[in-house]
């Protein structure tokens, strides 16, 4: 299982641009790779992918966490080079937009509030929080992984639901944890919450915020993986 961050406001690999947003390329041990979110800018997403050696024309599956600009900005650029892509998005997307996306893609699956199987090895937590955001629970030989876009529902709440779905503690929680505007006590509470759920590793990035990322590193040590654009996580 290999996860490559293709779009992130947290700087990382040289030659890759850091703009606000998040996108991650997921390559399972078996089966097709797929894309989670698209960042805020298509040109930068495609260029970052080129630098990372990821061929986005191979995209056949794209999961969009929620309809915020920093996660859907590269959507049309992906569909332009990979029009045979199936989209997994949420009811929180505008109905008119979904109708148009059905014409521009290979098809659209709309996720509601309940958890559901998206495709082989990947479940959606279902829409959480008012914004209607889904996160991806990935079954891997290394254990269950949780990939979040912005974690608007709260990273602990989302991880709790994913842990319940997986019926075992999460091996990795990765993505935006949405703590960039949080006080230190709130960050500490989130770290405690994830620890209490038995989360083994974290990769906090995007909207996690600098202070929160530092605090995660203090507690998780080597099990806090470095995020940022271009970061590669192998499990």
- Number of residues binding to Fe ion, judged by CB under 5 A: 3
**Site for Fe ion contains 70 (CB under 5 A):** yes
**Site for Fe ion contains 150 (CB under 5 A):** yes
Question: CB of 68: closest distance to Fe ion in angstroms?
Answer: 6
Nearer to Fe ion, 64 or 225 (CB): 64
Nearer to Fe ion, 7 or 25 (CB): 7
Joined tokens for residue 222: 């080597």
Question: CB of 22: closest distance to Fe ion in angstroms?
Answer: 6
The pair phi, psi for residue 22, each rounded to 5°, is -150, 140
Question: CB of 64: closest distance to Fe ion in angstroms?
Answer: 12
User: What string marks each residue from 202 to 221 as x (binds Fe ion by CB under 5 A) or -?
Assistant: -----x--------------
Q: Which of 60, 66, 62, 6 is nearest to 36 (CA)?
A: 62
Distance (Å) of CA 125 to CA 6, 146, 164 = 23, 9, 10
The piece of 30-38, 65-73, 128-136, 158-166 that touches Fe ion (CB under 5 A) is 65-73
Joined tokens for residue 50: 């080129």
Distance (Å) of CA 82 to CA 35, 43, 54, 59, 106 = 11, 14, 13, 6, 9
The piece of 112-120, 132-140, 148-156, 157-165 that touches Fe ion (CB under 5 A) is 148-156
Dihedral over Cα of 61, 28, 50, 214: its sign: positive
Nearer to Fe ion, 1 or 212 (CB): 212
Question: CB of 149: closest distance to Fe ion in angstroms?
Answer: 6
Q: Which residue is nearest to Fe ion (CB)?
A: 150
Ranges within 81-140 binding Fe ion (CB under 5 A): none
How many helices, marked H, and strands, marked E, lie in the chain? 7, 13
Nearer to Fe ion, 70 or 123 (CB): 70
Question: CB of 98: closest distance to Fe ion in angstroms?
Answer: 20
Q: Dmax of the chain from CA atoms?
A: 48
CB atoms within 10 A of CB 51: 15
Binding site for Fe ion (CB under 5 A): 70, 150, 207
């Amino acid at each position: 299982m290999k996860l490559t961050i293709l779009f992130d406001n947290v700087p990382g690999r040289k030659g890759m641009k850091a703009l606000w947003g998040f996108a991650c390329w997921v390559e399972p041990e078996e089966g097709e790779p797929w894309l989670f979110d698209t960042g805020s800018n298509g040109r930068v997403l495609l260029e970052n992918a080129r630098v990372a050696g990821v061929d986005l024309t191979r995209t056949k599956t794209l999961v969009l966490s929620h309809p915020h600009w920093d996660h859907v900005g590269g959507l049309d650029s992906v569909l332009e080079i990979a029009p045979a892509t199936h989209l997994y998005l949420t009811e929180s997307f505008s109905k008119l937009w979904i109708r148009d996306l059905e014409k521009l893609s290979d098809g659209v699956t709309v996720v509601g509030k309940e958890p559901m199987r998206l495709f082989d090895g990947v479940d959606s937590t279902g829409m959480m929080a008012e914004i209607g955001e889904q996160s991806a629970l990935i079954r891997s030989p290394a254990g269950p992984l949780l990939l979040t876009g912005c974690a608007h529902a709260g990273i602990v709440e989302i991880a709790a639901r994913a842990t319940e779905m997986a019926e075992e503690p999460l091996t990795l929680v990765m993505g935006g944890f949405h703590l960039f505007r949080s006080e230190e006590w709130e960050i500490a509470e989130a770290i405690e919450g994830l620890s209490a759920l038995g989360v083994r590793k974290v990769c906090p990035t995007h909207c996690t915020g600098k202070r929160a990322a530092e605090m995660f590193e203090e507690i998780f040590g080597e099990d806090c993986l470095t995020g940022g654009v271009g970061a590669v996580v192998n499990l």
